[in-house]
Structure 1
Amino acid sequence: MKIDLKKSRSLFWSIPYGIASLHALLAIFGTTSVFAQSGRSVIAQQINCDRPQGDVEVRACIRLKYEASDRRLNEVYKQLISQLSGEERSLLSEAQLGWIKLRDKTCEFEVYRNRGGTGYQDFLNECLERMTKQRTAELEKYLQR
């Protein structure tokens, strides 16, 4: 899985310290804020999530994989809800909101002992991805009925 991130023109890119400083800054500030703009990143690089290079790319790929699974879940949910009417639609909506709370609390519990550690957010995103894929498979079964 290759992901192209677009470069935004800014004063930052004219800093004379080069890419080594950029990697140092990312290590200090983390990756979440850098990649949170869903496709519109400040960093110009190509990340190959099949072979990530270094911690920054590994963390970015873990987050991107969770985000992709979440987008897929939303697509399947929209397909399913569009086929329902009235009470079924209301029940699914309530069930999905309950599932989101369950998923989030389950993952918080699962990674609780890692809080404060450098891998905490990665472990959390991996759990969120796993549970999101499971829920997507459940909803896909309802589509096949």
Structure 2
Amino acid sequence: MDLVNDQGETVKSYFLAAAFLWIAPGAVVAFEAGDYIDLGSCSPSSQSFAQCAKDVRASCVDVAADNAQYYRSCEHEFFRQADQLLNDYYKIAVIKAKAVERGFDGTAYSGQEELLRQSQRAWLPVRDTTCDLAVSFGALMSGAAAKVSHCKARLTLQRIADLEKEIGFYLK
């Protein structure tokens, strides 16, 4: 449909396109927790690492407000990113441990990589069972999966902070 503007020029109507782009109040809008959570912005070597992670989570949970589905999405994304951050940190720690061992073969420093691996293997079931235990006490409450994700994210971030405190100096 063509319209004529005040100057007498023919103008194409884009009303239909605009109508498709307009979102009615109350319409379902895709919520992506990853749009609100970026744990990569938090540095494990920073003293404010825990506060940064807490603020990052809050930025998503605040947007989720009272929407249980959005809240669960925030918690799952928070754990996914925390787990990825730990995996990245762990990979660097293993590479550095291998480098240390090459330089100190046959000394007290040999075996550092295996010790790190044993520590991580032992820690994972502790994290998982601790979080499962926390939920089992509140099994009747809804959102148990989100509570497990939040617990795992919290303990995962604590693990990164603990590793940074204990071996971070050697990873630089």
Fold similarity call, TM over 0.5: yes
Partners of 1:124 and 1:82 in 2: CA distance: 31
Q: After alignment, is 134-143 or 89-98 more displaced?
A: 134-143
**2:16 equivalent in structure 1:** none
**1:3 equivalent in structure 2:** none
Counterpart mapping for 1:88-127 below 5 A: 88-127=112-151
SS in 1 for 2:64: coil
Tell me whether 1:83 sits opposite 2:64 in the alignment. Answer: no
**Runs (4+) off by over 3 Å:** 43-48
Deviation per CA, 1:99-145: give whole Å up to 9, x if none: 00111111111221222532211111111111001001112231223
Q: What letter corresponds to residue 52 of structure 1 in structure 2?
A: A
**2:70 equivalent in structure 1:** 57
**2:168 equivalent in structure 1:** 143
Tell me, which stretches of 5 or more residues in structure 2 are unaligned? 1-25, 37-59, 102-110
Deviation per CA, 1:47-100: give whole Å up to 9, x if none: 442412511111101100011111111111111110113511011101101000
Distance 1:132 1:46, change over 3 A: closer
Partners of 2:143 and 2:115 in 1: CA distance: 37
RMSD between aligned residues: 2.6
Distance 1:120 1:91, change over 3 A: same
**What TM-score do you get using the length of structure 2 for normalisation?**
0.55
Q: What letter corresponds to residue 119 of structure 1 in structure 2?
A: G
Partners of 1:58 and 1:44 in 2: CA distance: 13
Tell me, which stretches of 5 or more residues in structure 1 are unaligned? 1-19, 24-42
Q: Larger Cα Rg: Structure 1 or Structure 2?
A: 2
**1:131 equivalent in structure 2:** 155
